[in-house]
């Protein structure tokens, strides 16, 4: 089985650490993941509002390349990209005429045969057994698993977990030794693409998310979307302005949490790149096996 990786634009820029951590845990778990060659932007988040044909052609081209490369699985870490690829695959499957038209536009055959998985599904399906075998540290901290709005919606198309109360991330985090909390905002919108244009709205929406997680005892918020991470992490000053108080809770990608548990280095996971310092309490890093090396949060940072 050949597994392809579609990083999308965010993971090559503002969410560089997400890409680093996905690649790092894939290697640590013994999984070979190959980046789709010559990939292009999927059109998120505006293309589907402007040009229907373009909005389907952009993600379809990536999937067509993956098919040409004989990739059975396409791992899509970004929730917006995952939504666009999955929705496109659904629409073209339901409309053979449109599917033929898109292949004509691409000048490349598109069949829709590759399975599209988000990073949670990827870890669940291919990493669970390896995590159990390779886990060297137990993450003994309370976490709020935050899915955002795109990871689980529209439910009839994505068919991933429960749209109002998903549990997939909680199960993974529990397997790492963490304690997922019950809270109210796990699928609420953080402001998504308004991070640049409407920072006050982001401050309000993301502020409610962060505040609820903190009030319910979370010591970290776990995410699987670069836009959610950006709004909860980079826009922390706007959140604190809106709420009128300071929040130190770190925002950690699910892939980074997995990496910590299986012994991947702090910098290799990109944890030093966050705006809000990831400073986990000592109890959060407990050796799972005798002789396990403690997590070194003071590794030499050679590059930014």
Residue 293: band (very low, low, confident or very high) from pLDDT cuts 50, 70, 90: very low
pLDDT of residue 193: 74
Q: Are 162 and 152 contacting, i.e. CB atoms less than 8 angstroms apart?
A: yes
Residue 286 has pLDDT above 80, yes or no: no
User: pLDDT tens-digit profile of 66-101?
Assistant: 999 999 999 999 999 999 999 999 999 999 999 999
Provide the token pair at 288: 């799972």
The pTM (predicted TM-score) of the whole model is: 0.92
- Report d(CA 222, CA 213) in Å as an integer: 11
Provide the token pair at 140: 């003994």
Task: Write the CA distances from 121 to 15, 49, 154, integer angstroms.
Answer: 20, 28, 16
User: pLDDT tens-digit profile of 2-16?
Assistant: 999 999 999 999 999
Least confident of 20-24, 120-124, 158-162: 158-162
Query: Which secondary-structure segment (H or E) carries 286?
Result: strand 286-287
Residue 192: band (very low, low, confident or very high) from pLDDT cuts 50, 70, 90: confident
Closest CA to 253 of 285, 295, 224: 224
Residue 45: band (very low, low, confident or very high) from pLDDT cuts 50, 70, 90: low
Q: Which residues contact 46 (CB under 8 A, 6 or more apart)?
A: 193
pLDDT of residue 291: 43
Q: Which residues contact 137 (CB under 8 A, 6 or more apart)?
A: 177, 260, 261, 262, 263, 285, 286, 287, 288, 292, 295
Domains present along the chain, CATH in parentheses: 3-118 (1.20.1050.140), 134-287 (3.40.50.11810)
């Amino acid at each position: 089985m050949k597994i392809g990786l579609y990083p999308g634009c965010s993971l090559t820029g503002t969410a560089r650490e997400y890409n680093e951590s996905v690649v790092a845990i894939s290697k640590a778990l013994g999984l070979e993941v190959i980046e789709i060659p010559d990939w292009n932007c999927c059109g998120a988040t505006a293309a589907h509002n402007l040009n229907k044909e373009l909005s389907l052609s952009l993600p379809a081209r990536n999937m067509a390349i993956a098919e040409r490369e004989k990739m059975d699985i396409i791992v899509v870490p970004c929730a917006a990209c995952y939504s666009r690829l999955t929705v496109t695959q659904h629409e073209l499957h339901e409309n053979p005429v449109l599917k033929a038209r898109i292949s004509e536009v691409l000048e490349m055959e598109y069949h829709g045969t590759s399975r599209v998985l988000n990073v949670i599904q990827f870890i669940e399906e291919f990493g669970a057994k390896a995590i159990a075998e390779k886990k060297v540290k137990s993450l003994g901290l309370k976490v709020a698993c935050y899915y955002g709005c795109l990871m689980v919606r529209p439910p009839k198309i994505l068919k991933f977990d429960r749209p109002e109360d998903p549990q997939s991330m909680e199960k993974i985090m529990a397997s790492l030794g963490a304690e997922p909390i019950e809270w109210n905002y796990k699928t609420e919108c953080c402001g998504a693409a308004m991070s640049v244009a409407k920072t006050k709205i982001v401050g309000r929406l993301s502020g409610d998310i962060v505040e609820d997680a903190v009030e319910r005892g979370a010591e970290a918020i776990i995410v699987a979307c670069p836009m959610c991470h950006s709004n909860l992490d980079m826009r922390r000053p706007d959140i604190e302005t809106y709420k009128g108080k300071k929040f130190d809770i770190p925002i950690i990608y699910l892939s980074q949490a997995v990496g910590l548990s299986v012994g991947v280095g702090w910098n290799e996971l990109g944890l030093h790149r966050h705006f809000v310092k990831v400073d986990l309490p000592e109890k959060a890093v407990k050796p799972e096996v005798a002789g396990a090396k403690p997590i070194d949060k003071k590794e030499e940072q050679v590059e930014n």
